[in-house]
Amino acid sequence: MSSRRTTTIAGSLVTASFSAVMILSGTAGADDQGPGSSKGGKAVDEAPAGVRLTTLLPEKISVDNDSEETDITATAKNEGTKDSGEIRLWVVGFDGLTVKNAQGCSPIDEKNLPEGSNSGYTCPIDNLAAGKSKSYAVDATFDLGKTGKVCLLVRTSDGKKTFWQQGPVPFGTTNPSPNAPATPLLLGTDNQPVAPGGDELPKTGLGRDVLPLGTAGAALLTAGAAGLWWSQRRPSAQRES
């Protein structure tokens, strides 16, 4: 094999290694709320026979570090064998999490908010068929200097009974990332606010997620460089033998 051809192959290995690192890094940074979770949920008042109402919250959300804006998908689900009839889904915020809007829903009067909450919306559902679910896009803000909780309730249309209550369940992180564009928060985790001098905290989120991939890429680059050095050395070694 000629020296020129060997050098070209080694150079291609380096390029491929670098491309792999870039592709994998981009994949790791995708924004995904993950599957819905009923964590922190419990039945309260007895539902009609054959009706089993529950709720789902995303396993993770992302809060913009500048605007403190985030979005949450709130889902009501009928896991029973009969239709629910008229019900309402309440979406309520606590502490550092404030509900700003819920698509197709109306704000709850302050006097009717659950004790300790700061905001909420009520979403009318004419009927939820057996085995079906209905989701609502919720706009919220999260003060990362505080803890924050959200609560979903499935209630009768007149509000006299609560069939299901999820929460107040916290969103949070034990490793804040003040220098990143956004902070990822996990459901069921108490938020650890950024402490004084937080600018010196290690970065989390994207930087941490791609670290293993970056390490693997560095190993590939090292291997490619070693191949380039070996290909340049071989002709001279052959001439000496």
Average of pLDDT values for 101-119?
A: 96
CATH number at residue 83: 2.60.40.1510
Say whether both 215 and 162 belong to one domain: no
* CB-based burial label for 241 (10 Å; 0-12, 13-18, 19+): exposed
Strand order in the sheet with 53-58: 36-37, 53-58, 69-78, 133-142, 97-102
The pLDDT confidence band at residue 194, using thresholds 50, 70 and 90, is confident
Say whether both 194 and 228 belong to one domain: no
Among 34-48, 106-120, 150-164, 205-219, the range scoring the smallest mean pLDDT is 205-219
The pLDDT confidence band at residue 67, using thresholds 50, 70 and 90, is very high
Say whether both 143 and 220 belong to one domain: no
70, β-bridge pairs: 140
Strands (E), 97-132: 97-102, 106-107, 117-125
State residue 139's pLDDT score.
98
Domain with 222 in it? 3-27+210-240
Number of domains in the chain: 2
Which bin fits 55, alpha (ψ -120 to 50), beta or left (φ > 0)? beta
Say whether both 23 and 47 belong to one domain: no
State residue 32's pLDDT score.
62
State residue 30's pLDDT score.
37
